[in-house]
């Protein structure tokens, strides 16, 4: 049954190639999976929109040429609500729609929930933002964003070596893999570089009151506070620290990107430094083009999720071209050889483990605006 | 010395969060004491209050005092409506049905606000601006003081209202025996409506103070404080007004202390364990009285 | 032979002595009435006898076995069954299941049989059905077996409650105002039924009743309660003509 | 005779459903999305039917069903990860998961002896939260917030037969139970626990029994979940999950096993068909809860019931 279908479709494809040779582009379907509803909806929405900008750009420039065929890119999106339960069905939905490669999932847990299936299906899977180790364990899976430990290590080096801070307090979300993943690597690296973690305070998802943790830190001799967490947590923490009369400098992870949109008083986050691959306010031709296209289309400033997704789509393009094929097997083989000039890194390459190799950059908030640390 | 300061500071943190719990617990305990039902949606009325304030202040640009009054009215009206539509038809139904309905209402409010205001948190600056006070080297935030003062005032006001007014007496009668109260010429439906109106107004006040403290609007913001305030009400003895106040403060301190000195991860577990233990050892709570069921 | 021996029974609620120093002795096979004005503590006595309240003092002996301190479920197994003033049926269950539920301790099988519907289950269930039908027939309820209990008319609900109590095969049956809310015809019918079940089931009956016609008509012995203490006891004709009793009922 | 007719009908439905699913899967007629829903449907039926025992038949509201499920899922997953051959590990995992959940059910059952109604519901909610916190904290065993990973995917649609049999077993056991001496005791407690006591039913014993049985089955459901998703995170067993199961039971008509099964099927498949409307889904659930309760206690329902009674009465005469 299945085989017959395959033969027929191959025959059809063959006749199409012969009859229309250079004409009418084929479609390469990118199956995007991420939350567009629920608590994590903003991440999924950013990824979806960032990818759409890249796809429009590529298609506008004539699509992707692989051998004799030109492919138009298309995005088939499925909402996984950032849930491990929904992700497998979301994956199957985009596969039913004929996805040629998978962009996702946006969140780590959901991503891990589909890895064994994508591996079995042998399909190329690139997660734009799934930062946990487990996301790219299999040979068919790659990642655009930093891994959690990578960020922690980079920030530890920066704080201890560049800034010369030796006594550091950490506040992290113990119920969140991203946050605790960074925290672990960070603390180990600080110790390795001769610094000292004077307080390591945990909180949990949906916590809004950090006074207990901050008070504990206040009674140590910490010189700075590192908060690997999302911007919403950072908002509460910086505000409550101010109310407690604390004036220690804050350092953060890339989850802080967006914090200016959630604080009621920008002065509470003035001077914070966080790792981020992307900064929308940079005067770079490529970034400006992306940001203005995004703003025009969606009336919002793109964040790093959008930028990661943008780069993800260009990575698919590069893999198709390098492989000279749209078969996942060939594209996967081509991945280590490609180099992408993207928003979050230039160049972006991929190591044997499937992680993107790109520089970690530091962003600070100056006069109420994001800017790269010089 | 440093340890003592740190313990004092943590106690203060407990007081800060505890006074919010206390305020919410007052509403819980009142509705439970009189209508004899756990109003699961109470926490979500707090959320409604916070969003209402945001709409009046930030979107409609009304002066703060007017906005606060409108917020309280809005919540009262919603409280009465919920009672009329969802709870009143079930007054003679089994408790299970009422409980499930209350859960439904709670979900309804959360998801309506999710649809209207979306899941993305909305920052909303405090409208209450009180400078913090320095006392013996301790920094007490102005909002904590305001919350405490409001909670105590509400507690005293409620006690006076229930013991000194006709409506208050009617409430006591309804809480004792609905049937008998009806026979005595008390309008039970109206009394329960007023109870819900007051309970929701208290939730509105709690919502205003809560949002001033944390400055971020989320559709689920009321859920956890609501449940914890319920724990506080049970701890203090449900139905008892001073008990709610007392339970709220104690719970806040337990939570702060366990976060600071035991484990942040287990602090919720500790709070809920307190509930289980109280219900097992003294189901009537610390200040409550137990009624035997009539056979 | 004495079936029930109550000695110096008392209970207080928050300082109020609801029942105080009560003594009762009921012969096997007797039909005894417990009467008294409203609030005299009659139902409280039933609650004490069935273990729903723990007395603050005294003893209750059923055929020499002490009942005080035993759980209601245990007391039921010892052989005391009751009905309630405000009917307490298993309202969502069928008439048949109401009676079968009461056969709980009479016809037993284990959990495994319940889960797997083993041959033992089938045999015992058949036995239960037969027994339940037998009892229901006495009350002329056999055609209502598939009715939900709550859908029965009031009078039949009262009967079903008695039927359910009898299914536990009690030695002592406590009836709490069985004629409440019945018209004279129904009451007369009920009196016959009570006589009948005493004969057929050989059960001793203690009943609370306000209807003096019923009490005078069928009870062989009466206890009169007032303010939680015994006012009088004796044969109906004596007791009902006792001036003290009349005063208690009619006031000064 | 009538009774046997019904049993035969159920048997035909059970075998028919199995045959239909197998046929569709093997002929490749089912989309991947639908295929991936097969196991979640079975799992939700197990969960709904087990919760139905407590909510529908015992008449107590449990807001911690997801906690029982999570205990089963985690303990079962440990067995699945042990490296035993699947033929051994899967049944063993289901058994271990069920037993661990049952033990928790027993622990929860202790307060049940003293509480009922509102307070009991709150205690089950509290237990759910406590279990979640403990799983979050017990990182060495459970993987903490990051979750327990790499659980062998043993309960996919390829093992449909096993899961289906398990599901049938749960349905059969619960329906047999409620039609027995023990089930009648449980229902009697629901309808009037005071009267139940006076006819010799040990209320606390049967309440605990209902909780333990329900927990055991929820635990088995949890193992199916673990083997289906491959990653377990404490957040996925929160209050909302318990409510979703509760909605199935309520929509099914509380105390109606067939209703629970149909509701579980619908509420698993429909949201997938209406993908992207999940914000509305929860809203609809809320409305369902309220509307069902209001309808059940409305004059309209009473009229319907009375009509049915009239028909019944007419039949007798």
Write the pLDDT tens digit of every residue in A121-152: 999 999 999 988 889 999 999 999 988 999 99
Is C72 an 8 Å CB contact of chain D?
Answer: yes
- The answer to whether residues C75 and C185 belong to one domain is yes
* Joined tokens for residue D90: 């899967």
- Would you say residue A24 has pLDDT above 60? no
pLDDT at A19: 41
Q: Is residue A369 assigned to a domain?
A: no
Q: Do D286 and B86 touch (CB under 8 A)?
A: no
Q: Which domain holds residue B40?
A: 2-119+128-281
The Cα of A128 is separated from the nearest Cα of chain B by a number of Å equal to: 21
Q: Is residue D98 assigned to a domain?
A: yes
Q: Is residue C36 assigned to a domain?
A: yes
- Least confidently predicted of A332-346, B146-160, D297-311: D297-311
Q: Do D243 and B107 touch (CB under 8 A)?
A: yes
Q: Pick the closest to residue D57 from D214, D266, D167, D226 (CA basis).
A: D214
- Would you say residue A15 has pLDDT above 50? no
pLDDT at A14: 44
Q: Is residue C43 assigned to a domain?
A: yes
Q: Is residue C84 assigned to a domain?
A: no
Which CATH number characterizes residue B204's domain?
Answer: 1.10.3470
Residue that terminates a domain, selected from C146, C168, C190: C168
- The answer to whether residues C97 and C56 belong to one domain is no
- Would you say residue D152 has pLDDT above 60? yes
Q: What are the backbone angles phi and psi of residue B173, rounded to the nearest 5°? A: -65, -45
- Chain A residues whose CB is inside 8 A of the D37 CB are 89
From D28, D31, D136, residue closest to A96, measured CB to CB: D31
Residues 265-294 of B with CB under 8 A from C: 292
Write the pLDDT tens digit of every residue in B25-36: 999 888 888 888
For chain D, how many structural domains are there in total? 1
Q: What is the DSSP letter of C167?
A: H
- The answer to whether residues C203 and C247 belong to one domain is yes
For chain A, how many structural domains are there in total? 2
Q: Which domain holds residue A162?
A: 148-276
- Cα–Cα distance for residue pair B22/D16, rounded to 1 Å: 58
Residue that terminates a domain, selected from A213, A244, A276: A276
The Cα of A40 is separated from the nearest Cα of chain D by a number of Å equal to: 12
Q: Is residue C200 assigned to a domain?
A: yes
- Give D239's pLDDT tier (boundaries 50, 70, 90): confident
> Residue A105: is the preceding peptide bond cis (ω within 30°)?
yes
Q: Do D136 and A174 touch (CB under 8 A)?
A: yes
- Chain B residues whose CB is inside 8 A of the C52 CB are 295
Q: Do B295 and C13 touch (CB under 8 A)?
A: no
Q: What is the DSSP letter of C148?
A: B
pLDDT at C131: 95
* Joined tokens for residue A290: 């992306």
Write the pLDDT tens digit of every residue in A29-75: 999 999 988 778 888 999 999 999 999 999 999 999 998 889 999 99
Collapse the DSSP code of C25 into the 3-class scheme (helix H, G, I; strand E, B; otherwise coil) and give the result: strand
The Cα of B129 is separated from the nearest Cα of chain D by a number of Å equal to: 35
* Joined tokens for residue B221: 């913001």
Q: Is residue D75 assigned to a domain?
A: yes
pLDDT at A38: 75
Is D256 an 8 Å CB contact of chain B?
Answer: no
- The answer to whether residues C39 and C152 belong to one domain is no
Q: Which chains touch B (3 or more CB pairs under 8 A)?
A: A, C, D
Selected for mutation to probe chain D from B100, B222, B288 (highest D CB count within 10 Å) is: B100
Which CATH number characterizes residue A114's domain?
Answer: 3.40.50.2300
Residue of B nearest to C51 (CA): B295
Residue of D nearest to A173 (CA): D145
Q: Is residue C209 assigned to a domain?
A: yes
Residue that terminates a domain, selected from C119, C135, C168: C168
> Residue C97: is the preceding peptide bond cis (ω within 30°)?
no
Is A233 an 8 Å CB contact of chain B?
Answer: no
Collapse the DSSP code of C16 into the 3-class scheme (helix H, G, I; strand E, B; otherwise coil) and give the result: strand
Q: What is the DSSP letter of C116?
A: H
- Cα–Cα distance for residue pair D15/D9, rounded to 1 Å: 10
* Joined tokens for residue B53: 């304030």
- The answer to whether residues C113 and C212 belong to one domain is no
- The answer to whether residues C193 and C236 belong to one domain is yes
Residue that terminates a domain, selected from C168, C187, C221: C168
Q: Which chains touch C (3 or more CB pairs under 8 A)?
A: B, D
Selected for mutation to probe chain B from D294, D298, D301 (highest B CB count within 10 Å) is: D294
Which CATH number characterizes residue D58's domain?
Answer: 1.10.3470
- The answer to whether residues A308 and A264 belong to one domain is no
- Would you say residue B284 has pLDDT above 80? no
- Would you say residue C202 has pLDDT above 50? yes
Q: Is residue A348 assigned to a domain?
A: yes
Q: Do B89 and D126 touch (CB under 8 A)?
A: no
From D27, D33, D278, residue closest to A93, measured CB to CB: D33
From B37, B86, B275, residue closest to D126, measured CB to CB: B275
Q: Which residues are within 8 A (CB) of A282 and not within 5 positions of it... i.e. 6 or more apart?
A: A288, A371, A372
- Would you say residue B156 has pLDDT above 60? yes
Is A201 an 8 Å CB contact of chain B?
Answer: yes
- Would you say residue C162 has pLDDT above 50? yes
Q: Is residue B178 assigned to a domain?
A: yes
Hey, which bits of B40-183 come out as E strands?
122-123, 133-135, 138-140
Write the pLDDT tens digit of every residue in B161-214: 988 999 989 988 888 888 888 888 889 999 999 999 999 999 999 999 999 988
Is D149 an 8 Å CB contact of chain A?
Answer: yes
Question: Three-state secondary structure along chain A?
Answer: CHHHHHHHHHHHHHHHHHHHCCCCCEEEEEEEEECCCCCCHHHHHHHHHHHHHHHHHHHHCCCEEECCEEEEEEEEEEECCCCCCCHHHHHHHHHHCCCCEEEECCCHHHHHHHHHHHHHHCCCEEECCCCCHHHHCCCCEEECCCCHHHHHHHHHHHHHHHCCCCEEEEEEECCCHHHHHHHHHHHHHHHHCCCEEEEEEEECCCCCCCHHHHHHHHCCCCCEEEECCCHHHHHHHHHHHHHCCCCCCEEECHHHCCHHHCCCCHHHHCCCEEECCCCCCCCCHHHHHHHHHHHHHHCCCCCHHHHHHHHHHHHHHHHHHHHCCCCHHHHHHHHHHCCECCCCCCCEEECCCCEEECCCCEEEEECCEEEECC
- Strand C31-35 relative to strand C221-226, pairing: parallel
Residues facing C229 on adjacent strands: C226
ipTM, interface predicted TM-score of the complex: 0.86
Q: Is residue A374 assigned to a domain?
A: no
Write the pLDDT tens digit of every residue in D162-177: 999 999 999 999 999 9
From C82, C88, C102, residue closest to D192, measured CB to CB: C88
- Would you say residue C151 has pLDDT above 80? yes
- Cα–Cα distance for residue pair D110/D119, rounded to 1 Å: 13
- Chain A residues whose CB is inside 8 A of the B264 CB are 174, 201-204, 207, 212-213
Residues facing C7 on adjacent strands: C59
- Give C251's pLDDT tier (boundaries 50, 70, 90): low
Q: What is the pTM of this model?
A: 0.89
Q: Do D182 and C147 touch (CB under 8 A)?
A: no
Q: Is residue C24 assigned to a domain?
A: yes
From A79, A85, A177, residue closest to D146, measured CB to CB: A177
pLDDT at D313: 62
Is D27 an 8 Å CB contact of chain A?
Answer: yes
- The answer to whether residues A291 and A243 belong to one domain is no
Selected for mutation to probe chain A from B139, B215, B229 (highest A CB count within 10 Å) is: B215
- Would you say residue C175 has pLDDT above 90? yes
From D59, D119, D137, residue closest to B279, measured CB to CB: D119
- Cα–Cα distance for residue pair B112/B121, rounded to 1 Å: 15
Residue of A nearest to B18 (CA): A209
CB D47 within 8 A of CB D264: yes
The Cα of B263 is separated from the nearest Cα of chain D by a number of Å equal to: 9
- Cα–Cα distance for residue pair B229/B208, rounded to 1 Å: 16
Q: Do B272 and D55 touch (CB under 8 A)?
A: no
- The answer to whether residues A308 and A331 belong to one domain is yes
Q: Which domain holds residue C120?
A: 89-168
CA dihedral D185, D189, D193, D199 (to 10 degrees): -10
- The answer to whether residues C184 and C234 belong to one domain is yes
For chain C, how many structural domains are there in total? 2
Q: Is residue D268 assigned to a domain?
A: yes
Contact between chain C and chain B (3 or more Cβ pairs less than 8 Å apart): yes
Q: Which chains touch D (3 or more CB pairs under 8 A)?
A: A, B, C
- The answer to whether residues C157 and C178 belong to one domain is no
Read off the pLDDT of each residue in D73-78 and give the average, rounded to a whole number. 96
- Cα–Cα distance for residue pair D178/D258, rounded to 1 Å: 13
Is B220 an 8 Å CB contact of chain A?
Answer: yes
Write the pLDDT tens digit of every residue in D24-68: 988 888 888 888 899 999 999 999 999 999 999 999 888 899 999
- The answer to whether residues A129 and A108 belong to one domain is yes
- Cα–Cα distance for residue pair C223/C238, rounded to 1 Å: 11
- Would you say residue A160 has pLDDT above 50? yes
Contact between chain A and chain C (3 or more Cβ pairs less than 8 Å apart): no
The Cα of C84 is separated from the nearest Cα of chain B by a number of Å equal to: 8
Write the pLDDT tens digit of every residue in A275-314: 988 888 888 899 999 999 999 999 888 988 999 999 999 9
The Cα of D89 is separated from the nearest Cα of chain C by a number of Å equal to: 25
The Cα of D24 is separated from the nearest Cα of chain A by a number of Å equal to: 13
Write the pLDDT tens digit of every residue in B214-245: 889 988 899 889 989 988 988 888 888 889 99
With residue B97 as reference, give the H or E element that holds it.
helix B95-117
Write the pLDDT tens digit of every residue in C39-60: 888 999 999 999 999 999 899 9
- The answer to whether residues A226 and A302 belong to one domain is no
- The answer to whether residues A130 and A158 belong to one domain is no
Collapse the DSSP code of D180 into the 3-class scheme (helix H, G, I; strand E, B; otherwise coil) and give the result: coil
Q: Is residue A368 assigned to a domain?
A: no
pLDDT at B178: 84
- Least confidently predicted of A17-26, A155-164, D218-227: A17-26
Decide which of D105 and B290 is more confident: D105
Is C156 an 8 Å CB contact of chain D?
Answer: no
Q: Is residue B85 assigned to a domain?
A: yes
For chain B, how many structural domains are there in total? 1
- The answer to whether residues C193 and C230 belong to one domain is yes
- The answer to whether residues A253 and A304 belong to one domain is no
Q: Is residue A371 assigned to a domain?
A: no
- Would you say residue A25 has pLDDT above 80? no
Q: Is residue A194 assigned to a domain?
A: yes
Read off the pLDDT of each residue in B60-85 and give the average, rounded to a whole number. 95
Residues facing A170 on adjacent strands: A200, A226
- Give D156's pLDDT tier (boundaries 50, 70, 90): confident
- The answer to whether residues C10 and C133 belong to one domain is no
pLDDT at D315: 61
Write the pLDDT tens digit of every residue in C85-112: 889 999 999 999 999 999 999 999 999 9
The 10 Å CB-count burial string (b at 16+, else e) for B3-26 is eeebeebbbbbbbbbbbbbbbbbb
Q: Which domain holds residue D160?
A: 31-273
- Chain D residues whose CB is inside 8 A of the C90 CB are 187-188, 191-192, 195-196
From D173, D188, D200, residue closest to C90, measured CB to CB: D188
- The answer to whether residues A210 and A249 belong to one domain is yes
- The answer to whether residues C161 and C191 belong to one domain is no
Q: Which residues are within 8 A (CB) of A65 and not within 5 positions of it... i.e. 6 or more apart?
A: A71, A321
Q: Is residue C6 assigned to a domain?
A: yes
Write the pLDDT tens digit of every residue in A246-268: 889 999 998 898 888 888 888 89
Q: Do B139 and A245 touch (CB under 8 A)?
A: yes
Is B65 an 8 Å CB contact of chain C?
Answer: no
Q: Is residue D128 assigned to a domain?
A: yes
- Would you say residue A16 has pLDDT above 60? no
């Amino acid at each position: 049954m299945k085989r017959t279908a395959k033969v027929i479709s191959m025959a059809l494809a063959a006749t199409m190639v012969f009859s229309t040779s250079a004409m009418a582009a084929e479609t390469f379907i990118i199956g995007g999976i991420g939350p567009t509803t629920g608590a994590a909806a903003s991440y999924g929405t950013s990824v979806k929109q960032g990818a759409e900008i890249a796809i429009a750009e590529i298609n506008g420039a004539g699509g992707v040429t692989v051998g004799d065929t030109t492919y138009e890119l298309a995005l088939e999106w499925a909402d996984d609500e950032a849930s491990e339960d929904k992700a497998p069905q979301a994956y199957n939905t985009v596969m039913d729609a004929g996805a040629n490669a998978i962009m996702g999932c946006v969140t780590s847990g959901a991503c891990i929930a589909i890895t064994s299936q994508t591996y079995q299906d042998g399909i190329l899977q690139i997660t734009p933002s799934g930062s946990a180790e487990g996301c790219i364990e299999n040979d068919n899976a790659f990642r655009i964003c930093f891994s959690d430990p990578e960020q922690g290590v980079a920030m530890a080096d920066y704080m201890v070596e560049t800034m010369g801070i030796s006594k550091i307090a950490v506040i992290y979300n113990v119920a969140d893999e991203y946050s605790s993943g960074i925290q672990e690597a960070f603390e180990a690296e600080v110790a390795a570089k001769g610094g000292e973690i004077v307080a390591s305070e945990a909180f949990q998802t949906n916590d809004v009151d950090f006074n207990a943790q901050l008070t504990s830190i206040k009674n140590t001799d910490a010189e700075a506070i590192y908060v690997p967490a999302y911007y919403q947590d950072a908002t509460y923490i910086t505000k409550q620290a101010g109310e407690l009369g604390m004036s220690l400098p804050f350092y953060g992870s890339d989850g802080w990107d967006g914090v200016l949109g959630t604080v009621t008083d920008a002065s509470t986050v003035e001077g914070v430094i966080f790792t981020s691959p992307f900064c929308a306010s940079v005067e770079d031709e490529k970034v400006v083009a992306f940001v203005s296209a995004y703003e025009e289309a969606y009336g919002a400033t793109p964040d790093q999720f959008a930028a990661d997704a943008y780069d993800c789509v260009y990575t698919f393009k590069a893999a198709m071209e390098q492989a000279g094929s749209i078969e996942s097997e060939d594209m996967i083989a081509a991945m280590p050889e490609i180099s992408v000039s993207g928003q979050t890194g230039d160049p972006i390459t991929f190591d044997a483990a499937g992680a993107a190799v790109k520089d970690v950059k530091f962003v600070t908030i100056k006069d109420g605006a994001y800017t790269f640390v010089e | 010395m440093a340890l003592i300061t740190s313990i004092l500071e943590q106690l203060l943190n407990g007081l800060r969060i505890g006074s919010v719990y206390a305020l919410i617990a007052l509403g819980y305990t009142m509705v439970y004491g009189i209508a004899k039902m756990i109003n699961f949606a109470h926490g979500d009325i707090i959320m409604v209050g916070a969003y209402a304030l945001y709409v009046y202040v930030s979107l409609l640009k009304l002066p703060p005092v007017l906005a606060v009054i409108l917020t309280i009215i809005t919540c009262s009206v919603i409280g009465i409506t919920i009672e009329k539509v969802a709870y009143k038809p079930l007054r003679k139904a089994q408790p299970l049905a009422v409980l499930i309905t209350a859960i439904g209402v709670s979900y309804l409010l959360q998801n309506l606000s999710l649809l209207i205001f979306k899941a993305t948190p909305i920052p909303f600056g405090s409208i209450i601006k009180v400078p913090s006070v320095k006392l013996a080297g301790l920094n007490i935030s102005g909002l904590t003081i305001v919350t405490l003062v409001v909670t105590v005032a509400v507690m005293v006001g409620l006690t006076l209202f229930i013991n000194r007014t006709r409506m208050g007496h009617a409430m006591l009668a309804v809480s004792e025996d609905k049937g008998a109260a009806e026979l005595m010429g008390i309008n039970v439906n109206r009394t329960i409506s007023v109870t819900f109106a007051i309970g929701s107004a208290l939730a509105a006040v709690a919502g205003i103070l809560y949002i001033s403290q944390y400055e971020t609007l989320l559709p689920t913001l009321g859920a956890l404080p609501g449940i914890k305030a319920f724990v506080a009400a049970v701890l203090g003895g449900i139905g008892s007004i001073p008990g709610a106040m007392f339970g709220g403060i104690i719970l806040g301190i337990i939570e702060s202390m366990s976060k600071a000195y035991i484990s942040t991860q287990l602090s919720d577990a500790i709070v809920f364990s307190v509930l289980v233990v109280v219900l097992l050892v003294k189901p009537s709570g610390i200040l409550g009285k137990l009624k035997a069921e009539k056979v | 032979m004495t079936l029930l021996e109550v000695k110096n029974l008392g209970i207080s609620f928050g300082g109020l002595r609801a029942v105080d120093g009560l003594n009762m002795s009921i012969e096997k096979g007797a039909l005894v009435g417990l009467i008294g004005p409203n609030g005299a503590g009659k139902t409280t006595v039933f609650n004490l006898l069935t273990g729903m309240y723990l007395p603050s003092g005294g003893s209750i002996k059923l055929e020499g076995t002490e009942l005080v301190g035993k759980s209601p479920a245990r007391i039921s197994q010892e052989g005391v069954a009751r009905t309630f003033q405000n009917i307490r049926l298993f309202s969502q269950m069928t008439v048949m299941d109401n009676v079968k539920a009461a056969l709980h301790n009479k016809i037993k099988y284990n959990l495994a049989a319940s889960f797997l519907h083993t041959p033992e289950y089938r045999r015992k269930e058949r036995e239960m059905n037969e027994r339940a039908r037998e009892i229901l027939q006495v009350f002329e309820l056999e055609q209502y077996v598939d009715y939900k209990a709550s859908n029965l008319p009031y009078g039949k609900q009262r009967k079903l409650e008695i039927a359910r109590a009898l299914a536990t095969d009690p030695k002592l049956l406590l009836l709490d105002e069985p004629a409440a809310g019945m018209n004279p015809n129904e009451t007369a019918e009920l009196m016959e039924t009570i006589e009948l079940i005493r004969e057929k089931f050989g059960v001793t009956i203690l009943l609370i009743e306000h209807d003096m016609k019923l009490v005078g008509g069928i009870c062989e012995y009466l206890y009169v309660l007032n303010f939680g203490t015994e006012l009088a006891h004796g044969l109906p004709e004596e007791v009902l003509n006792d001036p003290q009793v009349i005063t208690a009922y009619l006031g000064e | 005779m009538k009774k046997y007719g019904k049993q035969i009908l159920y048997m035909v439905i059970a075998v028919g459903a199995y045959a239909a699913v197998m046929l569709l899967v093997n002929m490749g007629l089912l989309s991947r999305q639908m295929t991936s829903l097969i196991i979640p449907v079975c799992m939700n039926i197990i969960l709904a039917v087990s919760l139905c025992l407590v909510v529908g038949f015992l008449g107590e509201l449990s807001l911690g069903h997801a906690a029982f499920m999570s205990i089963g899922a985690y303990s079962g997953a440990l067995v699945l990860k042990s490296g035993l051959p699947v033929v051994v590990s899967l049944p063993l995992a289901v058994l271990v998961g069920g037993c661990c959940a049952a033990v928790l059910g027993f622990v929860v059952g202790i307060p049940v002896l003293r509480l009922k109604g509102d307070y009991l519901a709150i205690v089950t909610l509290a237990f759910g939260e406590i279990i979640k916190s403990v799983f979050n904290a017990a990182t060495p065993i459970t993987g903490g917030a990051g979750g327990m990973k790499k659980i062998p995917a043993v309960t996919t649609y390829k093992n449909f037969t096993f899961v289906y049999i398990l599901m049938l077993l749960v349905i059969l056991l619960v329906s047999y139970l409620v039609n027995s001496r023990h089930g009648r005791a449980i229902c009697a407690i629901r309808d009037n626990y005071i009267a139940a006591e006076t006819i010799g039913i040990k209320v606390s014993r049967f309440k605990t029994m209902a909780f333990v049985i329900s927990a055991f089955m929820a635990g088995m459901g949890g193992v199916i979940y673990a083997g289906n998703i491959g990653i377990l995170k404490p957040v996925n067993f929160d209050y909302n999950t318990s409510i979703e199961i509760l909605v199935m039971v309520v929509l099914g008509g509380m105390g109606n096993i067939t209703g629970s099964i149909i509701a579980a099927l619908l509420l698993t498949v429909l949201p997938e068909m209406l993908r992207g409307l999940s914000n509305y889904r929860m809203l609809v659930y809320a409305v369902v809860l309220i509307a069902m309760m209001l309808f059940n206690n409305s004059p309209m329902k009473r009229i319907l019931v009375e009509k049915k009674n009239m028909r019944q009465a007419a039949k007798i005469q």
